Amino acid sequence: MHWMERFNFKISSNSIGLKCVFVLVAVLILRALLLPSIPGLVGRAEWGNIVYIRNDSQSGIAVRQDNKFLEVPQIVWGLNNQKIAFARACLTARMLNRTLLMPSLSASLFYKEIDLLQPISFDKVFQFQKFNELCNGFVRLGRYSDLSNPTQVLELQKGNGRKWTLERDLEQLREHSKGKFDNYQVIRIIGKNPFLWHDHWPVRDYAKVFECLVLVDEFTNEADRVVSRIRAVSLQPLPYVAVHMRVEIDWMIHCKKLEQRLNTNQICSSKDEIIQRVANIEGLKTPAVVYLAVADKLLRNSSVLEGWGEGFLPFEKKKLGVEGIYSKYPYLIQSAIDYEVCLRADIFVGNSFSTFSSLIVLERTQKMIKKGESGTNNITWPSYAYNIKGESNGPKRWITNMSDLNLQAISYGTTHISS
Ligand SMILES: *[C@@H]1O[C@H](CO)[C@@H](O)[C@H](O)[C@H]1NC(C)=O
Ligand SMILES: *[C@@H]1O[C@H](CO)[C@@H](O)[C@H](O)[C@H]1NC(C)=O
Ligand SMILES: *[C@@H]1O[C@H](CO)[C@@H](O)[C@H](O)[C@H]1NC(C)=O
Ligand SMILES: *[C@@H]1O[C@H](CO)[C@@H](O)[C@H](O)[C@H]1NC(C)=O
Ligand SMILES: *[C@@H]1O[C@H](CO)[C@@H](O)[C@H](O)[C@H]1NC(C)=O
């Protein structure tokens, strides 16, 4: 039920939003009770296994041989899910030797009602040109204006459900990368949800795509403002620890169920446990500023700020005075800014069962490798998982295993983290 993650960050602040969240949570609980608990399969059971290919081609239309594209449906759900789905779309296009037509992301969190999804063009969030520069030779994004007119489109229906196996999915993609299918200028993937596509790519490939995602200047500047507020908390420069604190109601319901299913107690950390583990991070010099990345709209009060020991200066958005920066923007942008703030922290502490935390650790690991410094003793961009006990009662050191063959651990969470 990793999709609960989509509630990760701030929900639109009005009370209608909040009510919707509670209704959603109720629906999700019901659904979870009614559906078998198999990771990745939840929600698929209701969809059929039909695969069909519609041939939209009309004879006599010239097809440009040099320009081949892949089109995917609007990308939905939380920031992290959208990033993964986007990377998957890119890697699918790469496999088909095609350019990905710039997809729409979703600014809002509401996933059921299509009209509430607020499509937002990819290039309103991430730099289009920069993406192609950085990913040159690996994957490529194209614009709809690159299409010749009229266009031959092949619709490719992705299957789903239990019978739609990894192998079938891969076979379908292989088939469509050659022969008669390759003549179509556009292959348009249709299907219920790209996030549930099977994963055929190693972590390294995902990391490459994520690296090419650079926020547009407007949002980078907002993240700069938040970070400089954090840095300005004290006159002398202090390290800042970003803690992705998951203690909201929906998370607690979700993680308790997960713990039961996986027969572990290493997923849900209480606020007190988080505080204690952060305080025990080896080599952490106090005083230190703690930035709490919390879905504060889901918290009833500011109790997350209480209980921190001496030497820790805890802040969330409100106390930091940056609520105004966030509230201007829809949900997707808010979490993109928070993501950036966590990415740049001197130390990051997250939950290994959170996709949001996992993606941040992946990018920090990537940065560390880029700097030519990997290995445990070499602590640049250190990250920790507070839900797993590490040395001296602290949180466990956390590095993404870049050799992993798929993104499974990141999508579904794990207690087996590299360190
Ligand atoms: C689609 O239809 C056209 C003309 O009707 C035909 O030439 C072509 O082979 C068909 N393509 C596929 C993939 O079936
Ligand atoms: C992809 O397309 C380019 C240009 O048509 C071609 O040179 C290349 O061999 C193709 N690669 C694969 C893996 O099919
Ligand atoms: C905030 O909530 C926690 C638990 O949800 C409770 O223990 C605490 O007393 C509350 N604090 C305030 C100031 O209401
Ligand atoms: C990190 O490791 C590299 C090589 O393993 C070494 O050259 C470098 O000095 C180390 N840096 C620190 C800060 O320990
Ligand atoms: C990383 O993943 C690879 C491939 O799954 C595995 O063989 C290796 O043992 C993992 N390394 C660590 C440190 O977990």
Instruction: Name the helix (H) or strand (E) containing 395.
Output: strand 395-397
Ligand 1 atom closest to the Cα of residue 181 is 13
Element (H, E) at 258: helix 249-262
Measured in Å, residue 92 CA sits from the centre of ligand 2 at: 14
Backbone angle region of 138, left / alpha / beta, with phi > 0 → left and psi within -120 to 50 → alpha:
alpha
Q: Is 301 in the pocket of ligand 3 (CB under 6 A)?
A: yes
Residue 54 is predicted with a pLDDT of 33
For ligand 3, atom 6, the nearest C-alpha belongs to 303
Q: Measure the CA–CA gap between 163 and 179, rounded to whole angstroms.
A: 26
pLDDT of residue 376: 52
Q: Is 403 touching ligand 5 by the criterion CB < 6 Å?
A: yes
Looking at residue 314, its pLDDT comes to 95
| CA of residue 66 to ligand 2 center, whole Å | 10
Positions of the chain with pLDDT lower than 70, given as ranges: 1-66, 110-116, 194-196, 295-302, 373-379, 412-413, 419
Q: Ligand 5: which of 362, 396, 403, 417 to mutate, judged by most atoms within 8 Å of the beta carbon?
A: 403
Whether the full predicted model's pTM is greater than 0.85, yes or no, is no
Residues 383, 399: Cα–Cα separation, whole Å: 7
Q: Of 328, 142, 134, 155, which is closest to residue 225 (Cα–Cα)? A: 328
Atom number of ligand 3 nearest to Cα 303: 1
Expressed in angstroms and rounded, the spacing between residue 111 Cα and the centre of ligand 4 is 46
Residues of the chain with CATH 3.40.50.11350: 217-412
Ligand closest to 55 (CA) is: 1
Tokens 């939840």: give the residue: 42
Residues whose CB is less than 8 angstroms from the CB of residue 377 and which lie 6 or more positions away in sequence, other chains included: none
- Is residue 405 within 6 Å of ligand 5 at its C-beta? yes
CB 59 near ligand 1, within 6 Å: yes
Q: Residue 379 CA: which ligand 4 atom is closest?
A: 13
Determine the pLDDT at residue 148.
Answer: 78
**CB 57: neighbour CB atoms within 10 A?**
16
The C-alpha atoms of residue 176 and residue 70 are separated, in whole angstroms, by 11
pLDDT at 209: 97
Residue closest by Cα to atom 11 of ligand 4: 378
pLDDT recorded at residue 254: 84
Whose CA is closest to atom 14 on ligand 4? Answer: 378
In the prediction, which pLDDT does 36 show? 35
For position 57, what pLDDT does the model report? 37
Residues flanking ligand 4, CB < 6 Å: 373, 375, 378
What is the distance in A from the centroid of ligand 5 to the CA of 419? Answer: 11
Residue 123: predicted pLDDT: 97
- Per-residue pLDDT of 51-94, as tens digits, reads 223 333 333 332 233 589 999 999 988 888 899 999 999 999 99
Nearest CA to ligand 1 atom 11: 55
- Cα distance between residue 407 and residue 400, in whole Å: 10
Ligand 4 pocket mutation pick from 376, 378, 379 by most atoms within 8 angstroms of CB: 378
**pLDDT at residue 182 in the model:** 85
Between the alpha carbon of residue 388 and those of residues 12, 274, 357, 393, 409, the distances in Å are 32, 10, 14, 9, 15
CA-proximal residue: ligand 3, atom 7 (nearest): 303
What integer pLDDT is reported at residue 127 of this predicted model? 98
Q: How much is the pLDDT for 51?
A: 26
Number of H helices, E strands in the chain: 14, 14
Distance CA 368, CA 379 (A): 9
Residue of 301, 302, 306 with the most ligand 3 atoms within 8 Å of its CB, for mutation: 301
- The answer to whether the CB of 272 is under 6 A from ligand 3 is no
> DSSP code of 198?
P
State the fold for domain 43-211.
Rossmann fold (3.40.50)
CATH hierarchy code of domain 217-412: 3.40.50.11350
Give the distance (Å) from ligand 1 centre to CA of residue 57: 6
Q: What angle do CA 295, 218, 221 make, to 5 degrees?
A: 75
Residue 1, pLDDT score: 34
Cross-strand partners of 244: 293
To 10 degrees, what angle do helices 166-175 and 79-95 make? Answer: 50
Residue nearest to atom 13 of ligand 5 (CA): 418
Predicted pLDDT of residue 290: 96
Tokens (6 digits) for 65: 């041989």
